[in-house]
Structure 1
């Protein structure tokens, strides 16, 4: 499943090298990321903070995601999990950016089953029913299906691309900032 999600760009792996020690990076991470377990918070948009990210860090691993803001049109579905390693005064960050949540499989399955039943039912009713479904309904349903499945895909894919850009930019900024 992960290989398919990587192929359709809903999961992306990145490697970042920073000229900082692991101890300094962990301190900068804690200064710029609000401590959170990344669970669902109902009124998160009304919480104030100067930090753009929420997450947690341990000795060698971290998790983070963008904080939701009121009236923010940048959908931030992507979650970052990363591993830290230090070699010759360079910090290597291997991160996975995942925009797909496992609970989405249930809704995708329901949508695909619904559209399949409707399309096959309308095709089978042509022979047996004296008043079959009009012809324009089938193309309309196909267009509707592609919109209902395609728009969330492109939104999540854009969220992953945006997180890659923002994460690389912000991590370099944290390291170079005093």
Structure 2
């Protein structure tokens, strides 16, 4: 499943190298990321914080997500799982950005069931339903199933860009 999700760009791996020690990076991480277990928070958009990310860090690994903001159109579905490796004077960060969640399967199944019930009801009632509407419904169904894919893929790509940019900013900011 993971290899398929990587092929369709819903999981992305990146490597970031920074000229900083691991202890300095951990300190900067704790300054710029709010401590959280990344669970569901009902009214997260109303919490005030200057930090853009929430997450946690252990000795060699970290997890983070973008904080949800009110009226934010950048859908942040992506979750980041990273590994920190110190190599001499450089820090190598191997990051896996995951945009796909299992609850998305529930959404897809519900959409498919809705259209299946609609098609079965339309076919079983011969005199009331014009059949020329079926191609339009098939197009509508395909759009409803494809739009979430593009939104999640954009979220993963945007997270990769923002994460690399922000990590370099944290290191160069004094």
TM-score (norm 1): 0.91
Deviation at 1:137, TM superposition (A): 1.8
Deviation at 1:97, TM superposition (A): 0.5
Distance (Å, rounded) in 1 between the aligned partners of 2:131 and 2:36: 53
Counterpart of 1:90 in structure 2 is 90
Confirm whether residue 76 of structure 1 aligns to residue 72 of structure 2.
no
Question: Equivalent residues in 2 for 1:16-165 (5 A)?
Answer: 16-119=16-119, 122=122, 125=124, 131=127, 133-165=129-161
User: What is the RMSD of the two structures over their aligned residues, measured on CA atoms?
Assistant: 1.6
Deviation at 1:119, TM superposition (A): 3.9
Distance (Å, rounded) in 2 between the aligned partners of 1:131 and 1:154: 38
Q: Please, which runs of 5 or more residues in structure 2 have no aligned partner?
A: none
TM-score (norm 2): 0.93
- What are the superposed Cα offsets for residues 103-162 of structure 1, whole Å, 9 maximum, x if unpaired? 211221232243345446656x5xxx6527312221121121122111111111111111
Distance (Å, rounded) in 2 between the aligned partners of 1:117 and 1:7: 32
- Please state whether the residue corresponding to 1:136 is helix, strand or coil: helix
- What are the superposed Cα offsets for residues 46-81 of structure 1, whole Å, 9 maximum, x if unpaired? 111110000000000000010111111111111100
Runs (4+) off by over 3 Å: 116-123
- Please state whether the residue corresponding to 1:28 is helix, strand or coil: helix
Q: Please, which runs of 5 or more residues in structure 1 have no aligned partner?
A: none
Confirm whether residue 168 of structure 1 aligns to residue 164 of structure 2.
yes
Greater shift, 99-108 or 28-37, is seen at 99-108
**Against the structure 1 CA distance between its residues 95 and 130, is the aligned structure 2 distance closer, same or farther, given a 3 Å change threshold?**
closer
- Please state whether the residue corresponding to 1:34 is helix, strand or coil: strand
**Against the structure 1 CA distance between its residues 130 and 19, is the aligned structure 2 distance closer, same or farther, given a 3 Å change threshold?**
closer
Distance (Å, rounded) in 2 between the aligned partners of 1:173 and 1:11: 24
